[in-house]
Protein backbone atom coordinates (compact mmCIF):
# COMPACT_ATOMS: atom_id res chain seq x y z
CA UNK A 1 0.00 0.00 0.00
CA UNK A 2 1.23 3.45 -0.86
CA UNK A 3 2.11 5.15 2.40
CA UNK A 4 3.25 8.47 0.97
CA UNK A 5 1.74 9.91 -2.18
CA UNK A 6 3.17 12.70 -4.25
CA UNK A 7 0.70 13.06 -7.11
CA UNK A 8 2.80 15.32 -9.32
CA UNK A 9 5.81 13.81 -11.02
CA UNK A 10 6.71 17.16 -12.55
CA UNK A 11 5.80 20.71 -11.58
CA UNK A 12 6.89 23.70 -13.62
CA UNK A 13 6.33 27.27 -12.45
CA UNK A 14 7.74 30.66 -13.32
CA UNK A 15 10.19 32.49 -11.12
CA UNK A 16 8.37 34.59 -8.56
CA UNK A 17 5.22 32.48 -8.67
CA UNK A 18 3.97 30.52 -5.64
CA UNK A 19 4.88 26.87 -5.36
CA UNK A 20 2.99 24.03 -3.70
CA UNK A 21 4.27 20.47 -3.81
CA UNK A 22 1.66 18.03 -2.62
CA UNK A 23 2.19 15.14 -0.21
CA UNK A 24 -0.46 12.90 1.30
CA UNK A 25 0.22 10.13 3.78
CA UNK A 26 -1.54 7.08 5.16
CA UNK A 27 -1.72 7.24 8.96
CA UNK A 28 -4.54 8.03 11.33
CA UNK A 29 -2.56 9.69 14.11
CA UNK A 30 0.12 12.38 14.27
CA UNK A 31 3.15 11.15 12.36
CA UNK A 32 6.53 12.67 11.84
CA UNK A 33 7.00 13.82 8.28
CA UNK A 34 9.93 15.15 6.34
CA UNK A 35 10.69 16.87 3.09
CA UNK A 36 13.97 15.99 1.41
CA UNK A 37 15.49 17.79 -1.57
CA UNK A 38 18.02 16.67 -4.13
CA UNK A 39 19.62 19.36 -6.24
CA UNK A 40 21.33 18.39 -9.49
CA UNK A 41 24.50 16.40 -8.82
CA UNK A 42 24.13 16.72 -5.05
CA UNK A 43 23.19 14.27 -2.36
CA UNK A 44 19.75 13.96 -0.86
CA UNK A 45 19.42 16.40 1.99
CA UNK A 46 16.85 17.12 4.66
CA UNK A 47 14.87 20.25 3.90
CA UNK A 48 12.15 20.34 6.54
CA UNK A 49 10.98 18.29 9.46
CA UNK A 50 7.35 18.66 10.54
CA UNK A 51 8.22 18.53 14.22
CA UNK A 52 10.34 21.69 14.01
CA UNK A 53 7.72 23.89 12.32
CA UNK A 54 10.56 25.73 10.66
CA UNK A 55 10.98 27.67 7.44
CA UNK A 56 13.99 26.71 5.36
CA UNK A 57 14.95 28.58 2.19
CA UNK A 58 11.51 30.17 2.30
CA UNK A 59 9.73 26.80 2.29
CA UNK A 60 7.15 25.81 4.87
CA UNK A 61 5.04 22.71 5.32
CA UNK A 62 2.03 22.30 7.57
CA UNK A 63 0.64 19.00 8.73
CA UNK A 64 -3.09 18.79 8.05
CA UNK A 65 -4.35 15.74 9.91
CA UNK A 66 -7.87 16.11 8.55
CA UNK A 67 -6.63 15.87 4.97
CA UNK A 68 -3.61 13.70 5.88
CA UNK A 69 -1.45 16.10 3.95
CA UNK A 70 1.94 17.72 4.36
CA UNK A 71 2.21 20.02 1.37
CA UNK A 72 5.38 22.02 0.81
CA UNK A 73 4.89 25.68 -0.03
CA UNK A 74 6.88 28.71 -1.00
CA UNK A 75 5.30 32.07 -1.82
CA UNK A 76 7.85 33.19 -4.42
CA UNK A 77 9.82 30.58 -6.34
CA UNK A 78 13.46 31.14 -7.22
CA UNK A 79 15.46 29.47 -9.99
CA UNK A 80 17.71 27.78 -7.44
CA UNK A 81 14.69 25.91 -6.09
CA UNK A 82 14.75 23.65 -9.15
CA UNK A 83 15.33 20.13 -7.78
CA UNK A 84 13.72 16.80 -6.92
CA UNK A 85 11.61 16.93 -3.78
CA UNK A 86 10.67 13.87 -1.75
CA UNK A 87 8.18 13.58 1.08
CA UNK A 88 9.09 10.93 3.67
CA UNK A 89 7.37 9.14 6.55
CA UNK A 90 9.07 6.93 9.14
CA UNK A 91 8.17 3.30 8.54
CA UNK A 92 7.14 2.96 12.17
CA UNK A 93 4.00 4.94 11.31
CA UNK A 94 2.92 2.59 8.56
CA UNK A 95 2.54 -0.54 10.62
CA UNK A 96 5.81 -2.01 9.50
CA UNK A 97 7.38 -1.86 12.92
CA UNK A 98 10.67 -1.09 11.28
CA UNK A 99 12.99 1.83 11.44
CA UNK A 100 13.87 3.71 8.31
CA UNK A 101 11.86 5.95 6.04
CA UNK A 102 9.37 5.39 3.27
CA UNK A 103 9.51 7.94 0.48
CA UNK A 104 7.03 9.29 -2.00
CA UNK A 105 7.87 8.98 -5.67
CA UNK A 106 9.16 12.54 -5.76
CA UNK A 107 8.25 15.71 -7.61
CA UNK A 108 10.63 17.30 -10.06
CA UNK A 109 10.26 21.05 -9.60
CA UNK A 110 11.40 23.25 -12.45
CA UNK A 111 11.49 27.00 -11.99
CA UNK A 112 11.43 28.80 -15.29
CA UNK A 113 13.09 32.21 -15.60
CA UNK B 1 26.75 17.65 12.15
CA UNK B 2 28.23 14.27 11.22
CA UNK B 3 29.70 13.69 7.78
CA UNK B 4 28.84 10.53 5.89
CA UNK B 5 30.78 9.20 2.92
CA UNK B 6 30.52 6.25 0.58
CA UNK B 7 32.86 4.48 -1.75
CA UNK B 8 33.03 3.73 -4.53
CA UNK B 9 31.02 6.62 -5.94
CA UNK B 10 30.28 4.58 -9.05
CA UNK B 11 31.20 1.30 -10.64
CA UNK B 12 30.47 -0.74 -13.72
CA UNK B 13 30.37 -4.46 -13.03
CA UNK B 14 29.77 -7.63 -14.99
CA UNK B 15 26.81 -9.83 -14.25
CA UNK B 16 27.49 -12.62 -11.84
CA UNK B 17 30.08 -10.69 -9.86
CA UNK B 18 29.71 -8.99 -6.47
CA UNK B 19 30.42 -5.46 -5.29
CA UNK B 20 30.93 -4.24 -1.74
CA UNK B 21 29.99 -0.64 -0.95
CA UNK B 22 31.48 1.03 2.08
CA UNK B 23 29.82 3.70 4.21
CA UNK B 24 31.69 5.74 6.80
CA UNK B 25 30.35 8.27 9.32
CA UNK B 26 32.77 10.54 11.09
CA UNK B 27 31.09 10.09 14.47
CA UNK B 28 29.39 7.21 16.25
CA UNK B 29 25.77 6.67 15.29
CA UNK B 30 23.34 4.06 16.50
CA UNK B 31 21.20 3.57 13.42
CA UNK B 32 22.52 3.11 9.88
CA UNK B 33 20.47 2.17 6.85
CA UNK B 34 20.86 1.11 3.24
CA UNK B 35 18.52 2.24 0.46
CA UNK B 36 18.22 1.56 -3.25
CA UNK B 37 17.10 4.07 -5.85
CA UNK B 38 16.37 2.41 -9.16
CA UNK B 39 16.49 4.52 -12.33
CA UNK B 40 13.67 7.05 -12.32
CA UNK B 41 12.32 5.72 -9.03
CA UNK B 42 12.18 6.81 -5.43
CA UNK B 43 14.22 5.43 -2.55
CA UNK B 44 13.41 2.02 -1.11
CA UNK B 45 14.78 0.81 2.19
CA UNK B 46 16.85 -2.36 1.84
CA UNK B 47 17.77 -2.95 5.47
CA UNK B 48 18.73 -1.51 8.82
CA UNK B 49 22.35 -2.20 9.68
CA UNK B 50 22.52 -3.14 13.35
CA UNK B 51 25.81 -2.93 15.19
CA UNK B 52 26.73 -6.26 16.72
CA UNK B 53 23.82 -8.18 15.25
CA UNK B 54 22.36 -9.24 11.93
CA UNK B 55 20.82 -6.63 9.67
CA UNK B 56 17.04 -6.29 9.53
CA UNK B 57 15.83 -6.64 5.94
CA UNK B 58 12.71 -5.20 4.37
CA UNK B 59 10.29 -7.28 2.37
CA UNK B 60 11.77 -8.20 -0.98
CA UNK B 61 15.39 -8.05 0.15
CA UNK B 62 17.34 -11.04 1.47
CA UNK B 63 20.64 -11.49 3.20
CA UNK B 64 22.06 -13.82 0.56
CA UNK B 65 21.66 -11.16 -2.09
CA UNK B 66 22.52 -8.10 0.02
CA UNK B 67 24.78 -9.13 2.91
CA UNK B 68 25.46 -6.24 5.28
CA UNK B 69 28.13 -5.76 7.89
CA UNK B 70 28.21 -3.28 10.76
CA UNK B 71 31.41 -3.93 12.69
CA UNK B 72 31.27 -0.70 14.72
CA UNK B 73 29.27 2.48 15.24
CA UNK B 74 30.87 4.42 12.39
CA UNK B 75 31.07 1.95 9.50
CA UNK B 76 28.91 -0.37 7.42
CA UNK B 77 29.18 -2.27 4.17
CA UNK B 78 26.58 -3.51 1.71
CA UNK B 79 27.46 -6.23 -0.78
CA UNK B 80 25.42 -6.70 -3.92
CA UNK B 81 25.93 -10.36 -4.78
CA UNK B 82 25.67 -12.28 -8.03
CA UNK B 83 24.70 -9.13 -9.85
CA UNK B 84 22.32 -8.89 -12.77
CA UNK B 85 21.40 -5.84 -14.89
CA UNK B 86 18.30 -5.41 -12.69
CA UNK B 87 20.63 -4.47 -9.83
CA UNK B 88 21.71 -1.33 -11.67
CA UNK B 89 20.74 1.39 -9.22
CA UNK B 90 22.03 4.02 -6.89
CA UNK B 91 22.73 2.59 -3.45
CA UNK B 92 22.64 5.01 -0.54
CA UNK B 93 23.54 4.67 3.09
CA UNK B 94 22.17 6.90 5.80
CA UNK B 95 22.25 7.39 9.53
CA UNK B 96 19.62 8.56 11.95
CA UNK B 97 20.31 11.50 14.21
CA UNK B 98 18.64 14.42 15.84
CA UNK B 99 15.58 14.57 18.04
CA UNK B 100 13.31 12.64 15.69
CA UNK B 101 13.58 10.00 13.02
CA UNK B 102 15.28 12.19 10.43
CA UNK B 103 18.07 10.64 8.44
CA UNK B 104 21.15 11.99 6.72
CA UNK B 105 22.32 10.45 3.49
CA UNK B 106 25.60 9.63 1.86
CA UNK B 107 26.33 10.70 -1.71
CA UNK B 108 25.33 7.33 -3.12
CA UNK B 109 27.05 4.67 -5.21
CA UNK B 110 25.91 4.46 -8.81
CA UNK B 111 26.11 0.83 -9.91
CA UNK B 112 25.78 -0.29 -13.51
CA UNK B 113 25.68 -4.01 -14.25
CA UNK B 114 26.41 -5.10 -17.80
Mutant choice from B9, B53, B56, B103 vs A, greatest count of A C-beta within 10 A: B103
The answer to whether B9 faces chain A, any CB pair under 8 Å, is no
Q: Are B92 and A44 a contacting pair at CB < 8 A?
A: yes
Q: How far apart are CA A102 and CA B60, in angstroms?
A: 14
Beta-bridge partner residues of B68: B78
- Per residue in B12-23, pLDDT (tens digit) is 999 999 999 999
Q: What is the pLDDT of residues A83-113, one digit of tens each?
A: 999 999 988 766 555 678 999 999 999 999 9
**H or E stretch covering B49:** strand B43-49
pLDDT greater than 70 at residue A1: no
| pLDDT beyond 60 at A5 | yes
Amino acid sequence: AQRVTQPEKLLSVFKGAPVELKCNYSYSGSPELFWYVQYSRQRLQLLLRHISRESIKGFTADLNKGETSFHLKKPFAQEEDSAMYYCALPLMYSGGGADGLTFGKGTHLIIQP
Amino acid sequence: SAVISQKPSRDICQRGTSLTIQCQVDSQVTMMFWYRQQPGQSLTLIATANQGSEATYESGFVIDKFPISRPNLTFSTLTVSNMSPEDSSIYLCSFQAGVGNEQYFGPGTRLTVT
